[in-house]
Chains A and B, each alone.
Chain A
Amino acid sequence: MNIRSVSLTAWIGMTGIAIAVIAAAFAPWLAPYGENQVVGAPWEAASQAFPLGLDNLGRDLLSRMIYGARMTLFVSFCATVLSFSLGVVLSFVAAVTRGFVDMGLSRLNDLMMSIPTLIFALIVLAALPQNLAVLIGVMAVLDSTRVFRLGRALAGDIAVMDFVEAARLRGEKTLWIVFREILPNAMTPLLAEFGLRLAFAVLFISTLSFLGLGIQPPTADWGGMVKDNKDGIIFGISAALVPGAAIAVLTISINLVVDWLLNRTSSLKGGRGG
């Protein structure tokens, strides 16, 4: 990949992602105060010591933002990786084996997609115990339906190519065909989709936390911080807008990179699909 071919918007996006990742990775060293350390009065205004002010319990907002990046990124990244592994493997297997397996998986997927994701998540979370593993699992399974649909379409196109037929005639096993023949050829669109799903996962976990059903306090995460500080809005205290803006900037950044990736792939194909 040529560095010069990276567009300006893509650079902006990558910078945004890099800042969030660095904040998440080095949170204990970067944050001036502890995650749950009360350092002053509730909603104290921004000052030299506290650049973003304090939150509803008098904790440093900047420190919680940095720790929050950790939780938000960790959960959305895990959920996306899991949903991708699940969706890609299942969809490719469905496309390669065809017949009964394909039919069953595709119909099940249609059924899962016929209920809106958030509603489905609410239903399932009402019954399941609330912990991190459950949360990531639910997000991954629900999101994998979208990956499955794309993967099924991609693999359906690739599975009829001659080189796949050749591999079949060579007597390769299903898993070989999935991982060695189809996956490498579907990589770029899948990479773009990974970005889209990641952006969606960030929004989704933030929404769940905002509704009080995601990451539970006192652990800091951006969606939950909006919820914590929302009552200040009517008094003109903008503490809730800071984590909200961070979520927005992160998802915009991811989308900018994805947009560039998609444009790049469509120009590789000679502009097909505009």
Chain B
Amino acid sequence: MTENQPVTSAAGKAPVPGPLAVLRARFPMGSRIGERFLLGIGLLFASSVLIFAGIEILPGDFAETYLGQSATPQAIANLSAEFGLDQPLVTRYFDWLFNVLHGDFGNSWASGQSVSTQIADRLGNSLILAGAAAIIAVPLAVGLGLLAVLYRDRLVDRLINLISLAAVSLPEFFVAYLLIMVFVVQHPVTAFPATVYDSMTLLEKLQTIILPVATLVLVVIAHMMRMTRAAIINVMASAYMETAELKGIGALRAIVKHAAPNALAPIINVVALNLAYLIVGVVVVEVVFVYPGMGQYMVDAVTVRDLPVVQGCGLVFAAIYILLNMTADILSILANPRLRHPR
């Protein structure tokens, strides 16, 4: 079970000194959640270092690229001073981190606008997109996964299996353009591009984003379903399920009372993993549908090498991803019946 978790805690194998071991034995669940929480915070910090250093250490002088032909040594020095690039790396990192923790991601090099305001506007848009996709995809995928298990190795299962195998292999942009071709060009039922404005009501926004949401659902559902199926089959193959069957209790009762509590943790993991995947899928879908979200903002910034924007967006994406994975792990710890009682 732990193998499938996105991030496994380091504390699992390391010899723990006395008082901590006692604490772990007394509060198996609480201490594990605490550990996972601390690990999440640590990862968040480390990834901020990675994102900052990754850009700063890599070769390629921004000032030179930015100025292009007119890169005289004096102009480069002026620009570096303007953006604070002449400061030592560590100083710049802590300045950046300090500002980020106060909600200030700096100003865009390209437009001079505040990155924080842009992110604040666009993050909401992206979350609506991903959220709507999740609300549709999660129940559908888990349901289909159950269906596949119920009709295991029969035609329905094989069909679902084959279709989902194909769906996993489709690139997001292909699905998106296919949907546009069918539902905008051939049967005009919705509009393209799916640009939302602040003046729109929530309902209008939802109407506009039907196609991007549909794309995300199609892309994420197959994977989620396959993993759900595998997780449930894994539980069904265990010895206590055989015992339940041999005891003669009904299939439904066996699933609800015996399989479900144990399948919960892997399924939560599957869902969280795919929600995290949605965050990435959003990038491509936003570019296709010209949707004013974080992904489009970041891709545009990468094209013109607007580093403060790239760093800001990268950090926000990484933070969401890490938090989702942490939530998944904590939820699956909570769902693990073995940890409810002290040993």
Contacts and interface: CB of A to CB of B under 8 A. Distances in A.
Interface of A: 9, 103, 107, 110-120, 122-129, 153, 199, 203, 206-207, 210-213, 223, 226, 230, 233-236, 238, 240-241, 244-245, 247-248, 251-252, 254-256, 259, 274
Given A124-B54, A128-B59, 15 more contacts: A115-B47, A115-B314, A116-B276, A116-B321, A123-B55, A123-B302, A127-B56, A129-B60, A211-B283, A226-B173, A241-B178, A244-B173, A247-B171, A247-B174, A255-B165
17 contacts: A110-B43, A111-B46, A115-B314, A115-B318, A116-B279, A116-B318, A119-B321, A122-B310, A122-B314, A124-B58, A207-B171, A207-B284, A210-B171, A210-B287, A213-B303, A233-B180, A240-B177
Interface in B294-343: 298-299, 301-303, 305-307, 310-311, 313-314, 317-318, 321-322, 325
A128 to B, nearest CB: 6
Contacts of B46: 111, 114
Contact of A114 (B192, B234, B322): B322
Given A116-B317, A129-B60, A251-B169, A122 B298 contact: yes
Interface stretch (B2-10, B28-36, B128-136, B202-210): B2-10
A252 to B, nearest CB: 4
B184 A234 contact: yes
Given A111-B46, A245-B174, A252 B180 contact: no
Contacts of A111: 43, 46-47, 50
A120 B321 CA distance: 12
Contact of B310 (A123, A129, A240): A123
Contacts of A207: 171-173, 284
A226 B181 CA distance: 14
Contacts, number: 162
Contact of B10 (A9, A107, A128, A211): A107
Interface of B: 3, 6-8, 10, 43, 46-47, 50-51, 54-56, 58-60, 162, 165-166, 168-174, 177-178, 180-181, 184-186, 192, 230, 233-234, 237, 276-277, 279-280, 283-284, 287-288, 298-299, 301-303, 305-307, 310-311, 313-314, 317-318, 321-322, 325
B302 A119 contact: no
